A = this chain, B = another copy of it.
Amino acid sequence: MLTAQQNVLLTQTGPGTGMGEVFRQYWQPLLLSRELQARGAPKPVKILGEDFVAFRDAQDRVGVIKPRCSHRGANLVLGRNEDAGLRCVYHGWQFDVAGRCIDIPTSEASIAENLKPQAALRALKVEEWCDIIWVHFGDESPDQEPPALPKLDFSALPDDHYFVSKKLQQCNWAQAVEGGIDTAHFSYLHANLQDDQRVGLMPTQGINEPAESGRYRWLIEDSVPQFTILKHDAGLVMCAARKADNEQLYWRLTQFLMPNHSMAPNSFPGDNHQGNTWVPIDDHSCWIFCYIYNPERPLTEQEVDGYASGSGIFANVDENYVPLRNRENNYLQDRDMQQHANFTGITGISEQDAAIADSQGLIADRTAELLGQTDLAIVRFRQMMFAAADAVQAGNAPHGKEHPGSYQVRSGDAMSPRSGVAIDVVTERFGELAGQNLTNF
């Protein structure tokens, strides 16, 4: 439970807000690379409550600049994307990917040269990496070197080992993260139904089956996972242990990376791995970037097709990455399906997650909660975010910012005896990819 003031701090990310200043310290995914074509349509984008226009010039360089022409304030989103940059269609002033004004055709040449520096537009730092356009608000001087990108687990893999996409979430970023790092809800939100009883998402074969199928049964059977939270240089490992067959424990091990990335569980060695980043558009919506990858082999065409059309953490989206089942159409919830087939009456794991987060309101009211032991991951997430806000306010680097190399961590599932201890389980399962300087938190 938070105070009203803490809830505001956690959820607001616009310019000048506490958490907004935290986010502005880190690189953030802005667009999928495939959303911008060279000399193609410029795209209006909003991130952390601020409007920009993004475009790719003829040299394949991406610019993300303030959208209003410095001359008379016409919107550059209407602009013509030319070889050297974006040209305002009102009087032809032109801007390059760094926001520099490179042509002022309404003035004589000598006057224009003097005017250009004043006419420059603020530009975000931009990097493309793993099919994603990343931006950093950073220092506004175009000369300063940007910090390094966070080295997520799949960034070292060949291109065909991973697939990335995104989906719109119609609520505040923080409650969407809190759903993403909350494995406890699997016992209900994602349950199927048979004869009015919850059953697992996938068929199981009963007692003594392999963990690969048994886990879907254990998720249902034990709705009180025991949580242990570990901390490392880039964030947290959330360890949730459920009772499994034969006095064993089934562990789901989730990575949270500051300030808004998660590597999700549900993978034994050999399985595909998955992750998300929740990027605030404004305080009432966010983009969820979705990653799937296999450290050992390329994804198959069939797998990619499945993800692209909305399986698992991927939503079934339209051409603008808006989920087809969304807040406006109540996720096509089917009450008959809810009585007989699955627990929500909503089709799709991603859509079930989206629906429940949206249902908490545009911004969840955390002043009236009753948190228990299964909400420990959420409590620690908030704690780390508040510490980051304190750090930034004190002029210090927030957690993880100075350790981009420590972002290469892995999430997944593990089995242990009933006496297993989280830090040992994690270390044994992931080795160095568990996280650097791992400790209990």
Q: A188-B89, A223-B92, A335-B41 are in contact. Are A73 and B372 (CB under 8 A)?
A: no
Closest to A330 in B: B78
Q: How far is B333's CA from A369's CA once the two chains are assembled, in angstroms?
A: 48
User: Chain A interface residue count: which class?
Assistant: 35 or more
Q: How far is the CB of A26 from chain B (nearest CB, A)?
A: 26
Of the candidates B39, B105, B375, which one forms a contact with A224 in the assembled complex, judged by CB atoms under 8 Å apart? B105
Closest to A366 in B: B73
Q: Which residues between 76 and 97 of chain A lie within 8 Å of chain B, taking CB atoms? A: 77-78, 80-81, 87-92
Contact A89 B344 (CB under 8 A): yes
Q: How far is B357's CA from A74's CA once the two chains are assembled, in angstroms?
A: 7
Contact B223 A374 (CB under 8 A): no
Residues on B with C-beta less than 8 A from A373 are 106-107, 111
Q: How far is the CB of A50 from chain B (nearest CB, A)?
A: 15
A119 at the interface (CB under 8 A from B): yes
Residues on B with C-beta less than 8 A from A80 are 338-339, 343-345
Residues on B with C-beta less than 8 A from A91 are 184-185, 187-189, 223, 374
Of the candidates B41, B87, B368, which one forms a contact with A68 in the assembled complex, judged by CB atoms under 8 Å apart? B368
For the complex, would chain A's binding face be called helix, strand, loop or mixed by DSSP majority? loop
Q: Which residues between 346 and 392 of chain A lie within 8 Å of chain B, taking CB atoms? A: 352, 355-356, 359-361, 364-366, 368-375
A75 at the interface (CB under 8 A from B): yes
Contact B369 A92 (CB under 8 A): no
A115 at the interface (CB under 8 A from B): yes
Q: How far is the CB of A29 from chain B (nearest CB, A)?
A: 24
Residues on B with C-beta less than 8 A from A352 are 89
Q: How far is the CB of A188 from chain B (nearest CB, A)?
A: 4
Q: How far is B364's CA from A388's CA once the two chains are assembled, in angstroms?
A: 37
Q: A90-B189, A92-B187, A189-B89 are in contact. Are A75 and B360 (CB under 8 A)?
A: yes
Residues on B with C-beta less than 8 A from A81 are 339
Residues on B with C-beta less than 8 A from A90 are 185, 188-189, 356
A319 at the interface (CB under 8 A from B): no
Closest to A92 in B: B188
A34 at the interface (CB under 8 A from B): no
Other A-B contacts than A71-B371, A78-B333, A111-B372, 20 sampled, CB-CB below 8 A, are A70-B370, A71-B369, A71-B372, A73-B361, A73-B364, A75-B360, A77-B359, A78-B356, A78-B359, A89-B188, A89-B189, A91-B184, A91-B187, A91-B374, A105-B188, A106-B184, A106-B374, A106-B375, A107-B374, A111-B373
Q: Which residues of A contact B (CB under 8 A)?
A: 39-41, 68, 70-75, 77-78, 80-81, 87-92, 104-108, 111, 115, 118-119, 178, 184-185, 187-189, 223-224, 333, 335, 338-339, 343-345, 352, 355-356, 359-361, 364-366, 368-375
